[in-house]
Chains A and B, each alone.
Chain A
Amino acid sequence: MAVPNGVTYDPIDDEIDFSDIDEKYHVESDDGFDNVIVVDGVPVIDRSKLDRLLTKIAKDFTKKGSPIKSDDIFVPWDDAKDKSKGYIFVDLGNPDAAAFAVSALNDYPFDSRHTFSVNRFTDIEKYASLDETYVEPEIEEYQPKEHLRAWLADPQGRDQYVTYRGDDVDIHWHGKPSQCEVAFSKKGWTDLYVSWSPLGTYVATLFRQGVRLWGGPSWEHQQRFAHPFVKLLDFSPCEQYLVTWSHDPITVPPNMPQGPEFFSPEDEGHNIAVWDIKSGHLLRTFPTSAAEADDALTKKQMQWPALKWSPDDKFVARVTPGQQISVYELPGMGLHDKKSMKTEGVVDFEWCPHGEKDRDEAENAKGGKGSKKSRENMLAYWTPEVANQPARVTLVDFPGRKVLRQKNLFNVTECKLFWQNNGDFLCVKVDRHTKTKKSIFCNLEIFRVREKDFPVEVVELKDTVTDFSWEPKGERFAIVSSNDPNLGNPGPGITIKTDISFYQLDRSKNDFRLLRTLASRTSNTIRWSPRGRHVVLATVGSSTKSELEFWDLDFTSEDRREGQASKDEWGSAIQLLGSADHYGVTDVEWDPSGRYLATSASAWRHTLENGYAIWDFRGQEIEKHILDRFKQFIWRPRPRTLLNKEQQKQIRRNLREYSRAFDEEDAAEESNISAELIAHRKRLVDEWNAWRARCRKDISDEKRSRGIRNDGREHGDEEKEEIEEWIDEVIEQTEEVIE
């Protein structure tokens, strides 16, 4: 044992057994040999050839990018035979160089008969001293994981939502009033915000170190993605992949752990990372495309999601503005077909979403049953006017890369692509300018994608369209248009007057016709119920107006069947169900079932009356909470239904029976609540009265001790004294002499 710092050596220590501590704090002493490698497979030679061999080896090493001198080589010598032993030691000077040499020169064919096998000296040491006896690997006990979709099996069919307030993240159940409860709550669960995955399986929280995913009924940690200073994230539609973005370019510090789930040196300087959710592995990183043209694009906000996923998770694409669309194939993340789609001037693109039918077909095709080919992916992009070229919207199929339809447009300022969520229609909102470029008006170019040759309809509008929204799974859309002169220069206290218009596909004429216009509103946001039919118009982000209007587009035809057009007068079925007001509303969101609407006023936008409210589809307030520092409200999305078309029809047919059961439940619930509430109030009153009785006793005790008459003044209320006052007022007095 060494004597540290001259401390006198105490012989008693000798008798104490330190071996356990020695073992625990044993310092690996192999540090010094990290820069030495062992090269095996070197020709066995005698002394005469030694110099030549060393020169040759040094040359080969240098050629491979690992420069050494022949002095660095140590050749062990078999003195008995006076020959070399067939292996050498090379000192590379530092561990990094050694590591490089191992990777560069292992399996290096030195000549026809000799191939080097290169190892770290420390590795040899390690493996040589390895315990050779076979140890049965311990089989880890199988621990069943929680079901990630357990919440769907809730017997009451409740939905969940997450709220983020202050540092608290709460996950709530939302159902009938008695069934609303907090499912889970955790302080400091996130540093920035929370996010659900698109099918609701995971909840993602963001930390300085990266993203974490949680799931299952007890919200166990599921996966982590180490992307420091992550700011934005985006899931692929089928929840297989995750894209993260951080403003700070990736750096890989020297002590960074290595592995498939961590960044490696070639990722340095990039901002966007793509991860596999199940394995947690990093698939690929990208630089932010805006970084390439810094000054031109800094004014423009970065597009997010920067990577756009095809609806089946097979491809992901990114656009390099003005140049190309690059499509990468999953899961390898290799560039599809090894080349990008070069498209001069391309600004933006969108994948065509898959409808329910497409997914069914795709599933059948995968099972090998369906003879029909499932629908190919499709994407639409637009290019602006350049020189003599008109602006263009192009539909391309993928991976075929065949141009399906192209439409030329003129006088285009800006285009926006809106796919209907089943992929039946594509609306291109074209902001056009007049020849003088002074005023802007709007055209809607609607591609009917399911039909042969992709016919295009044009709806021309005089005003500027600020928002466009398709009815989910429907043939209607709503637009917000405005001709307010204040449009485009927002200021405090200015509320822009808008018109809301509904359009529907007229099956007989095959074009989109105006259903109805609601003139001079302030609404600037359209929120369709996820099941269609109901729509909410909201005035969001205004400091003076905060109206919510709940509309039903099929009010008269109670049971509208899909595809069956109503025979009533065009546009007559639109009915206002109710209007409401949520002061300072910043976010409006339907629950996935389309039964409830949540509005929230987030402290990220302003600090007045933060909180959230939940309404039913008719605009009746169900609950409202005003909470300081309230930040975020998101419903948990639901995955696609597992019932097929037949089963759904069956349910719709038997709706009466089901609804009877539900009505009974509701009635029971109502009586239950009121009983509970009454009991609760009774208890409160009893508690209060009991406490008051004690107080009265206290008072009388106190008074007695002070020697005051117990029935003091407070009982001896003075009697009311009524004083009647008669006031005679003589207004006029005339004297008349009667003859």
Chain B
Amino acid sequence: MRPILLQGHERSLTQIKFNREGDLLFSCSKDHVINVWFSHNGERLGTYNGHNGTVWTIDVDSQSRYLVSGSADNTLKLWEVSTGKCLFTWEFPTAVKRVSFSDDDEQVVCITEQRMGYQGAIRVFRLNFDGDGKDQDPEPERFFNPIGSKATVCAFTFMKNLIVTGHESGKVALIDVATGDEIQTNERAHMDIITDLQMGPDGTYFITSSKDKVARIHDTKTLRVLKTFSTETPLNSAAIAPNRPYVLLGGGQEAMQVTTTSLRQGKFETRFWHKVFEEEVGRVKGHFGPINTIAAHPAGTGYASGGEDGFVRMHHYDDSYFKSKPYGDLEIDE
């Protein structure tokens, strides 16, 4: 498997995301720029310029028409994917750490940082696509401050008005955005800050990664922990591979500690674990800094990883990946 090295960022990656077809890969970085790439050859299609701070998070709708991005310049921006034009900008008192589209593309949830006397907040916006998309309501449809530990990641679930959030304390919660109430919580889901949360193919389960070196698959409805993947390194990202029963985990030692350790110790590898058996099946090396974000191709034909080293590595699986049956003929539902 020969990766395509996407060199378009000058600083470490913060999040990468495929569109639904998987032909485009969006990446954002601390260098204030958002890039979009053709995933099959690694050619850069364009950039989205306008943010004036680290872009922490991006998400693209299912039709690949609109892109939202959240940044440390305290803004949330809506972009037109095809032209790179910024359609609308929302301003907040603090940085935006996470954005996510709903399944029907009509809503966007965003988490803002708890800082400078402002509480961390979760806002849900209803987008208006009539006309050219520039006419957006600057006020959120829903707004609330989650109680307890601050939220770091979130995503919509398949259930109406419910989002899952991951928190700094390691808590996972299911929140009703209409009321801001926690429907379900799992306080001890992780022992440390939750770094990533990605939904399974139909939203009934999701995977979380944490600095406590563990990734877990949770049942969306009950928040019950279904599977646990224990590694020996702090994890920054976890993704679920479509069509094959694997999960992808990435991480590595903190950037500040890396200088004193060699490449080998840093463990900057993408780890493939069997989703059901909780066993490690393989690793992919390449990055020379911690992996910050991983995204799986929606068709299951490849994956991309973005690292602290500023590179995105786009991998297309070899044939052997699809053919190999390391655990024999077992039919595993997705």
Contact = CB atoms under 8 A, between A and B. Distances in A.
A695 interface: yes
Interface residues of A, number: 25
B330 A682 contact: yes
Binding site secondary structure of chain B: loop
Interface string B122-154: 000000000000000000000000000000000
A713 B201 CA distance: 13
Given A678-B328, A685-B276, A608 B333 contact: no
B202 interface: yes
**Which of B226, B327, B328, B333 neighbours the largest number of chain A CB atoms within 10 Å of its CB?**
B333
Nearest to A708: B104
Contacts of B261: 608
Interface string A525-555: 0000000000000000001100000000000
Given A626-B232, A681-B327, A685-B276, A583 B332 contact: no
Interface string B75-116: 000000000000000000000000000000000000000000
B158 A689 contact: no
B159 A702 contact: yes
Nearest to B221: A698
A684 B204 contact: no
Contacts of B232: 609, 626
Contact of B262 (A544, A691, A718): A544
Nearest to B334: A692
Interface in A574-596: 583
Contacts of A699: 158, 202-204
A681 B333 CA distance: 14
Nearest to A686: B330
Contacts of B226: 688, 691
Contacts of A583: 264-265
Contacts of B203: 699
A692 B333 contact: yes
B205 interface: yes
Taking residues whose C-beta sits less than 8 angstroms from the other chain, chain B's interface range is: 20 to 34
A714 interface: yes
A689 B333 contact: yes
A706 B160 contact: yes
Contacts of B331: 685, 689
B274 to A, nearest CB: 9
A27 interface: no
A682 B327 CA distance: 10
B277 interface: yes
A692 B265 CA distance: 38
Nearest to A684: B276
Contacts of A543: 262
A146 to B, nearest CB: 36
A693 B334 CA distance: 10
Interface in A193-236: none
A681 B277 contact: yes
Interface in B229-287: 232, 261-262, 264-265, 276-277
Given A678-B328, A685-B330, A688-B333, A695 B262 contact: no
A722 B55 CA distance: 36
A681 B277 CA distance: 7
Contacts of A678: 328
A693 B160 contact: no
B330 A698 contact: no
Contact of A693 (B62, B276, B333): B333
B249 to A, nearest CB: 15
Contacts of A696: 202, 204
Contacts of B277: 681, 684
Nearest to B159: A702
A706 B332 CA distance: 29
A608 B267 CA distance: 11
**Which of B21, B226, B332 neighbours the largest number of chain A CB atoms within 10 Å of its CB?**
B332
B158 A702 contact: yes
B265 A609 contact: yes
Nearest to B205: A695
Given A691-B226, A695-B202, A608 B330 contact: no
Closest 3 CB pairs of A and B: A695-B204, A692-B333, A626-B232
25 contacts: A543-B262, A544-B262, A583-B265, A608-B261, A608-B265, A609-B232, A626-B232, A678-B328, A681-B277, A681-B327, A685-B276, A685-B331, A688-B276, A689-B332, A692-B204, A695-B205, A696-B202, A696-B204, A699-B158, A699-B203, A702-B158, A702-B159, A706-B160, A713-B62, A718-B21
Given A681-B277, A689-B332, A699-B203, 19 more contacts: A543-B262, A583-B264, A609-B265, A681-B330, A684-B277, A685-B332, A688-B333, A689-B331, A691-B226, A692-B204, A692-B333, A695-B205, A695-B219, A696-B204, A698-B158, A702-B158, A702-B159, A702-B160, A706-B160
